[in-house]
Amino acid sequence: MQAKILKLNKAGSPQAWIDYEEAALVASKGLVLWTMGDMASVLRGGYSHDGARSQIEIPAIIAVEGRVKEKSVPRITNTLLFSRDAYLCLYCGKQFARCDLSRDHVMPRSRGGPDIWENCVTACKRCNHHKNDRTPEEANMKLLAVPFAPNLYEWFYLSNRRVLVDQMDYLKTRFKNVLVA
């Protein structure tokens, strides 16, 4: 899998993971304000008349000109939820493959529990089945961690399976929660 470039707005807030081609396009339009990190890639272009091949070096992080709009953390998905909880069942504490995991609503949906980050935890199918329509207290199942909504920086980390070291260093400076690596 090809690594992605972390695109920031001019305030330094993450906007998107983009591929090299898109980053090269942004750079060629002169929209890059500043960059951080080592070169993530050298993109080779076409050959000129003298036989030289053009190349664009793409750093791991680019800040791009444009209107600053505050991006909010997207809705919960199972992929990101399992990733937040490091594929651990937050009831029995064991690690499982994705196919054996499920999204558990701490306060059950049937009783008005919302489908939001703060009310959802990763649970193995067995624990989820056992808990059923009960709260952890009622089921006498202790939660191993308090579910949290990732902030934007944490969300960007969780949403890319191949984060480069420089990108991780940048995102990590704004982490609020302890992410299990």
Site residues (vs Zn ion, CB under 5 A): 89, 91-92, 124, 127
* Closest CB 31 distance from Zn ion, rounded Å: 48
Question: Are 41 and 30 a contacting pair, CB within 8 Å?
Answer: no
> Alpha-carbon Rg of the chain, whole angstroms?
21
* Closest CB 154 distance from Zn ion, rounded Å: 24
Separation of alpha carbons 23 and 69, rounded Å: 19
* Closest CB 94 distance from Zn ion, rounded Å: 6
* Closest CB 106 distance from Zn ion, rounded Å: 14
Nearer to Zn ion, 41 or 122 (CB): 122
Nearer to Zn ion, 61 or 89 (CB): 89
Question: Are 15 and 32 a contacting pair, CB within 8 Å?
Answer: no
Nearer to Zn ion, 26 or 88 (CB): 88
SS3 assignment for 67-100: CCCCCCCCCCCHHHHHHHCCCECCCCCCECCHHH
**Helix and strand tally (H, E) in the chain?**
6, 6
Cβ within 8 Å of residue 172, ≥6 positions away: 153, 157
Nearer to Zn ion, 96 or 155 (CB): 96
Nearer to Zn ion, 104 or 154 (CB): 104
Q: Three-state SS for 32?
A: strand
Nearer to Zn ion, 63 or 124 (CB): 124
Total Cβ atoms within 10 A of residue 61 = 23
* Closest CB 179 distance from Zn ion, rounded Å: 20
* Closest CB 118 distance from Zn ion, rounded Å: 20
The candidate with the shortest Cα–Cα distance to 168, out of 6, 1, 16, 45, is 6
